Amino acid sequence: MPRIAVYPGSFDPVTYGHLDIIRRSQELFDLIIVAVNDNPSRDMLFTGDERVGMVKEFIGDLSRVQVERFEGLLVDYAQEKGAGFIIRGLRALSDFEYEFQMNLMNRRLNPHIETIYLITNQDYSYLSSSIIKEIVRLRGSTSGLIPESVREKLLKKMKG
């Protein structure tokens, strides 16, 4: 039976930190589904389709990785996809409390899906999509943090 994992997130925009988690997850799973979340409670800069497109462009031809949009409960989506695992990245201690609560609730909703945490590479431990948007807004350098194509999309979106 294949080991399928879901890596959820808003990816607004996708960063090299996200790519690091995806690449490292490939060593553990047969299939990774990058699940781009349509969360109506969050104010997104990019549409769901734009975010899916950026992630697909970003991951290129990585084998065993799919990118899809989803909405609703993550554990329901994971079960629908036949995934037994959820992948989450931890950047700092402050991420842990939120992730701990989410893990306990997800376990209650579906005890058959296990959450796997990967500690973010130290090169990206300070990186978030929110910080990237602020750097681009203030015309700072994002070299080594996001691809140039993502930066161009951010600049275009922020002008409009």
Question: Looking at the 3D structure of the chain, how many domains does it have?
Answer: 1
Instruction: Answer yes or no: is 117 within a domain.
Output: yes
Residues whose CB falls within 8 Å of the CB of residue 64, separated by 6 or more in sequence, listed in order: 26, 29, 30, 31, 32
User: Are the C-beta atoms of residues 11 and 18 closer than 8 Å to each other?
Assistant: yes
Residues whose CB falls within 8 Å of the CB of residue 6, separated by 6 or more in sequence, listed in order: 32, 33, 35, 74, 77, 78, 81, 83, 85, 86, 87
The residue with greater pLDDT, 9 or 96, is 9
User: Are the C-beta atoms of residues 154 and 23 closer than 8 Å to each other?
Assistant: no
| Mean pLDDT, residues 20-30 | 95
Cα separation, 105 vs 28, whole angstroms: 24
Instruction: Answer yes or no: is 52 within a domain.
Output: yes
Instruction: Answer yes or no: is 119 within a domain.
Output: yes
60: containing domain:
4-125
Instruction: Answer yes or no: is 36 within a domain.
Output: yes
Instruction: Answer yes or no: is 45 within a domain.
Output: yes
- The pLDDT tens digits for 87-131 are 999 987 777 888 899 999 999 999 999 999 999 898 888 888 899
Cα separation, 44 vs 47, whole angstroms: 7
Which domain CATH number covers 38? 3.40.50.620
Which band of pLDDT confidence, cut at 50, 70 and 90, is reported for residue 41?
confident
In eight-state DSSP terms, residue 46 is: S
| Residue 160 confidence (pLDDT) | 58
Instruction: Answer yes or no: is 145 within a domain.
Output: no
